[in-house]
Amino acid sequence: MSNQISRNFWKIFLTVVAICGNLYLPAPAFSQSDIGIEFKDKGQIVNSLSLSDLATVAPAVSLKVFEIHEKKERIYKAYPARALFDKAFSKQWGKAEEIVFISMDGYQASIPVTKFLSHDAYFAFAHDDNSPFTMTNILQNNEVVQLGPLYLIWDNMKSKVLLEDGASDMPYQVKSIELTTFATRFPNLPPPAKASAEIQHGFLLFRKHCMACHTINGEGGGKAPELNYPTSVVEYIKPEYLTRWIENPSSIRHNTLMRGLPLEIPNRTKVTKEIIAYLKAMSKAKRSPKRQDIH
């Protein structure tokens, strides 16, 4: 009898363990509809909205865009960004300088507020046909990437400017959105104040095309290697190879996950030259990364 009880006990015990085990299987966080998107203002959390909260902010639309990561048209279900910002921050967001989007894969897009005032951005949360919310990123060696919880897209079909911008300002896996100023958030990225016009322009181009993935002096995105500290890439990569790397990385390293400078942008040679001028200037302005910005 007591054997019977103990057998039953073990049967039940093991069943419970099995069920719990299944529950604790690491499910991708972005598949849950109640994941909270964090909204910050200069480092302070001011709001946290679940995906179901977002549905109450503004009616979702179906938006057709030119999908730059795939070089074809796509239709997404999406919420208008300005309506979302009005609700999550306050109408004051338009007076901020910069919005930083932090993605689950370490990407950090830093986008001037003016771009959101002059173009229509949307947060996509699903494909229009309800297929899995992923994409084959041809800019990233055809890697299949998750897009959720939120994917920032632009109404770009009729905008030459947006089409020429490349994919930098289209972060996917967005989990946190922060109002800030560039100078307080990234104090060690700008070149010395007296730097030449070429270097200053190279810095703007670096902000636009590189810093979402890379850090300089520890500041920027955490998706790719630091480029300046303690040894700058201009010190250990031969100049002609650095140029080639920026313009066409897969001509150097097979299967690399770095995308080159967008093919769409005009004056690519000049752009590369200016970015390298900025990198050279920073190699003389090394600062030890203080905070651990990268995850």
| Number of helical H runs and strand E runs in the chain | 10, 13
Q: Which helix (H) or strand (E) holds 274?
A: helix 268-283
Q: How far is residue 149's CA from residue 123's CA, in Å, rounded to a whole number? A: 9
Min separation Cβ 172 and ligand HEC, Å: 11
Is 171 in contact with 98 (CB distance < 8 Å)?
Answer: no
Compare residues 41 and 67 and give the one whose CB is closer to ligand HEC: 67
Compare residues 135 and 242 and give the one whose CB is closer to ligand HEC: 242
Among 165, 188, 48, 62, smallest CA distance to 109 is for: 165
For the chain, the first-to-last Cα distance in angstroms comes to 56
Q: Residue 276's CB: how many other CB atoms inside 10 A?
A: 20
Min separation Cβ 10 and ligand HEC, Å: 50
Compare residues 189 and 227 and give the one whose CB is closer to ligand HEC: 227
Min separation Cβ 249 and ligand HEC, Å: 7
Q: How far is residue 97's CA from residue 183's CA, in Å, rounded to a whole number? A: 10
Report the interface residues with ligand HEC, using CB under 6 A.
209-210, 212-214, 223-225, 227, 233, 237, 242, 245-246, 253, 256-259, 261, 275
Per-residue tokens: 286: 């090394």
Min separation Cβ 113 and ligand HEC, Å: 21
Compare residues 89 and 203 and give the one whose CB is closer to ligand HEC: 203
Is 97 in contact with 108 (CB distance < 8 Å)?
Answer: no
Min separation Cβ 261 and ligand HEC, Å: 5
Residue nearest to ligand HEC (CB): 210
Compare residues 78 and 261 and give the one whose CB is closer to ligand HEC: 261
